[in-house]
Chains A and B, each alone.
Chain A
């Protein structure tokens, strides 16, 4: 049907693809991992360059979703002259960046986290079903695997892979993501896992009798050494509780504080605070969309066993009394 050369070439391409699949399925740190690392390094560099070239297009942010509610603003702007308009766009862009950095600084100074700021330069396609993004900071900037990534609103994800100048971040809404979470105030703990949808997380409580209410805020529980998740980072707010008290598994639907569809400036936590900041990083209660119903304090069984690496926890640290945390002097940032 086809010439011999064609059949030969097709066979080579198919066999090569299959070889890649098989080598990659094996996983681990084989020779293929280094090929992959080299490829990621080169393409990461190219992505950085492309993101710079295309920044006038992408810098305006997610125009598709914001265009509808900006029609009023646009009529105002059309009255202005061309030069003035471009200046204005530049200004709003800078303002948004400044606000994002401001939010980051607030979180970092309240919780005494040390972080490296970075910008999102590429996002994985929706049809990959994996919520991962590339940021423009890598090993050269001190980023290592499993560091927490935050923005001004709260926890965004963790670093999955690094190259010299870029890193891949897996968002907390990814289906494979699991974060140890704690209800602010009561100290009930559980696992917050991604559902694959951008707006919802699932919170599974370890204690089936735990008291959880709509409006409760969640913060990270923290892992040993602050990896993969530093303690005290705001995760989200409970919007729906499923199952009654005493059922074998109790889950709650949680809306993340950070808007995963509008990520631009993020911070990578390179050093968690010496003391767990407890709930101090959470936004003020009247800033939250839902006011929490008061929940009884204490009585929570925090000794529940950790079932996952992500919740590999230090109960002693998280049970430190509030006064002790407050008494810690503000750590000076080394320049």
Chain B
């Protein structure tokens, strides 16, 4: 059963990374690029639990860092996404999981991802981060996260219920 869980996590994460890098980045949407990867990590964490969320976050982070044209430090995204996957899976009591609460969680997660990654990059000595743009990017990323959340969270939960009902958090 653990292999089936791994397969679900892997498929969703790989799909999200590829769609984000080849489709979402070129739509020319104003503000940040919609962070499909983080939303998928949050959706997995909410459907399967904090541990699976952390694993999903780790694999997503490493994939995003390794995939061309990424030119940032490998591991920075991974550590932030591990935290996001674990915390979102743990923080919300399963009984409180209404759609608005989950949308809010996702918005917080995508916003926090921009802030944490920018902060970590700066701490590690990268001078790329333009802090004047960070507030705008954080807000727009949070907004796009909220918009992407319902479909993805319900979709992932549906697949998990069908494929591995034993881990579904309800």
Query: Is there an interface contact between A134 and B68, defined as CB atoms closer than 8 Å?
Result: yes
Query: Is there an interface contact between B78 and A17, defined as CB atoms closer than 8 Å?
Result: yes
Query: Is there an interface contact between A122 and B22, defined as CB atoms closer than 8 Å?
Result: yes
The verdict on A91 contacting chain B, using a C-beta distance below 8 Å, is: no
Partner of B32, one of A16, A126, A176: A126
- Pairs of residues from A and B, 8 with the lowest C-beta to C-beta distance, nearest first: A20-B75, A39-B66, A62-B28, A21-B75, A17-B79, A132-B69, A125-B33, A123-B25
Which residues on the B side are within 8 Å of A6 (C-beta)? 50-51
The verdict on B167 contacting chain A, using a C-beta distance below 8 Å, is: no
Which residues on the A side are within 8 Å of B8 (C-beta)? none
A143 vs chain B, min Cβ distance (A): 13
Which residues on the A side are within 8 Å of B82 (C-beta)? 10, 13-14, 17
Query: Is there an interface contact between A58 and B70, defined as CB atoms closer than 8 Å?
Result: no
Q: How many residues of chain A are within 8 Å of chain B by beta carbon? A: 59
Which residues on the B side are within 8 Å of A22 (C-beta)? 75
Known: A40-B67, A47-B67, A62-B28. A17 touches B75 (CB 8 A): yes
A105 vs chain B, min Cβ distance (A): 24
Query: Is there an interface contact between B78 and A64, defined as CB atoms closer than 8 Å?
Result: no
The verdict on B148 contacting chain A, using a C-beta distance below 8 Å, is: no
Given A127-B32, A163-B68, 12 additional A-B pairs, CB 8 A: A19-B75, A21-B76, A21-B124, A25-B125, A44-B68, A58-B27, A63-B28, A127-B117, A130-B72, A133-B69, A176-B128, A196-B130
Partner of B69, one of A50, A123, A127: A123
Query: Is there an interface contact between B137 and A175, defined as CB atoms closer than 8 Å?
Result: no
Report the bound CA distance from A16 to B71 in whole Å.
Answer: 19
The verdict on B73 contacting chain A, using a C-beta distance below 8 Å, is: yes
The verdict on B114 contacting chain A, using a C-beta distance below 8 Å, is: yes
Chain A contact residues, CB within 8 Å of chain B = 5-6, 9-10, 13-14, 16-25, 32, 36, 39-40, 43-44, 46-47, 50-51, 54, 57-58, 62-65, 120-130, 132-134, 160-161, 163, 166-170, 175-176, 196, 261
The verdict on B26 contacting chain A, using a C-beta distance below 8 Å, is: yes
Query: Is there an interface contact between B74 and A36, defined as CB atoms closer than 8 Å?
Result: yes
Residue of A nearest to B25 (CB): A123
Residue of B nearest to A57 (CB): B23
Which residues on the B side are within 8 Å of A121 (C-beta)? 22
Partner of B55, one of A9, A62, A127: A9
Query: Is there an interface contact between B55 and A47, defined as CB atoms closer than 8 Å?
Result: no
Which residues on the A side are within 8 Å of B25 (C-beta)? 122-126
Residue of A nearest to B15 (CB): A50
Which residues on the A side are within 8 Å of B133 (C-beta)? 129
